[in-house]
Amino acid sequence: MPTPAKLVAAILMAAVAWFTAEAVVRYALPEGSSVGRFREICAVIGLFFGWRMLGRAATGVRGRGDKIVNSLTMGMATSLAILVLAVFLHGFYQMISESMKLAYDQPGKAATAMIGFIKEDFILVANPIIIGVLLGGGAVAGLMAGVTGRVWR
């Protein structure tokens, strides 16, 4: 059921995901890298997880909100879930791109390469600025969604 807390959580987590993707492009990737729709895809992932994870926690069991601390920590957990899914999808995309060039002759080699791509991506985003934007933005989004869940019914 749609609630104001779910709407606020979805919008704020989409913004957090977009700004985190922008931080990745600015601080982790080489200058002039082509990223395509990376920011927008991350924002859609953030929209989905904000509605499903953070919005549910901010609304609470009875629809009257939950403790602010729970919403705050759920905001950080939601941002980490967005990171994990975005890195997994990027690794999968890289594996599919390489397999279209007939780089793998067995499915096991493709899966191993995908794990390698995911590992490289996690190393790439292990930047203090990126982690700070991700967790700080998630905490603020969780706080705002929690306040919305308690005040606005």
- Chain-centroid distance, C-alpha 18: 9
> Distance between CA atoms of 13 and 150, rounded to whole angstroms?
18
Query: How confident is the model at residue 59, as a pLDDT?
Result: 85
- Would you kindly state where each structural domain of the chain is located, as residue ranges? 4-82+127-151
Quote the tokens at residue 75. Answer: 């905001």
Average pLDDT for 70-80: 94
Query: How confident is the model at residue 140, as a pLDDT?
Result: 97
Three-state SS across 15-38?
HHHHHHHHHHHHHCCCCCCCCCCH
Quote the tokens at residue 109. Answer: 């080699």
Q: Which pTM value belongs to this model?
A: 0.91
